Structures are given as C-alpha cells and as structure tokens.
C-alpha cells in the first residue's frame, strides 16, 4: 500500500510525467520526448486567450503502476477523464479518485501529482492555459 509519506518521498524525486511536458516551452509546437508509461498527443495549440498566454489541449494515456511526481503549471489545467481511473492529490484539497466522466481543475502554481493503479490505463484530455515561454510543468 502506498502511504502519503511514501508517495511524497517518491514524488519528490520523480519527474513530472502526467503530461510529459516537464521543461517543455509552453509555446513550443513539437510534443515532448516519450516518458515510460505515458503516451501523449497534442490535440491543439493556439495563442491566447490573452496576450502572453497559450492554450494547449492534449490527450494523455497513463499505464497501470505509473506514479506521477508532484509538479506545477504556470497556468490553469482543466481535465476530463475519458476512461479508467487515477488518484489525483492536489495540494490544499482532499485526494480524489477520478473515474471516466469526472472532470478536474488545478489552479496555477498549485502542486499536484497522481498514481495509476489497477489493470487498465487511464485516458485524460487536459487543456492548459499557461504563460507563453515558460515550461508547461515544473517539479514541485
């Protein structure tokens, strides 16, 4: 069983792999390098909604057993679980187990993580509205 302390210990040294965008320029057009256990596809990217911001929509598939380290984004993340389930601890909020049909929002700069257990992968679509020119995700 993974305890909060054990998860926090792992997360402190793990890379941000939920989105696989660690240290990727939010204004970049090319997707990031592959992360083991995580498949991602950028569905769209556009300037705005305000000067200095970019909106990125991505589909992410996370395999069972993948633990996602604590990370932050320089803007809001809004996500929707297409299939499967994932545990999503967001700092300052109770940990949630998200299932197909559930949505979530992560405020700008708020550390969050994730763990995927069970036999099936989880598929998520997330939209990020982030500051242009900053890494889309940074370890927390």
pLDDT of residue 118: 79
Q: Give the count of domains, the chain.
A: 1
pTM of the model: 0.74
Distances (CA, A) of 42 to 7, 57, 74, 116: 28, 6, 18, 21
pLDDT, the chain, mean: 80
Q: How far apart are the first and last CA of the chain?
A: 23
Digit-coded pLDDT (tens) for 18-35: 444 433 444 543 333 446
Both tokens of 134, joined, read 């900053």
Domain span at residue 25 reads: 4-139
Rounded to whole angstroms, the Cα distance separating 29 from 10 reads 31
CATH of the domain at 53: 2.60.120.10
């Amino acid at each position: 069983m993974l305890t909060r302390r054990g998860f926090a210990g792992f997360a402190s040294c793990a890379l941000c792999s939920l989105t696989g965008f660690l240290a990727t320029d939010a204004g970049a057009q090319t997707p990031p390098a592959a992360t083991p256990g995580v498949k991602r596809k950028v569905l769209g990217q556009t300037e705005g909604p305000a000067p200095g911001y970019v909106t990125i929509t991505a589909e992410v598939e996370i395999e069972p057993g993948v633990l996602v380290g604590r990370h932050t984004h320089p803007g809001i993340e809004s996500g929707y679980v297409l299939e499967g389930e994932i545990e999503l601890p967001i700092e300052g909020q109770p940990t949630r187990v998200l299932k197909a049909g559930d949505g979530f929002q992560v405020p700008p700069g708020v550390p969050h993580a994730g763990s995927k257990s069970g036999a099936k992968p989880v598929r998520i679509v997330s939209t990020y509205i982030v500051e242009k020119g900053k890494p889309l995700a940074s370890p927390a």
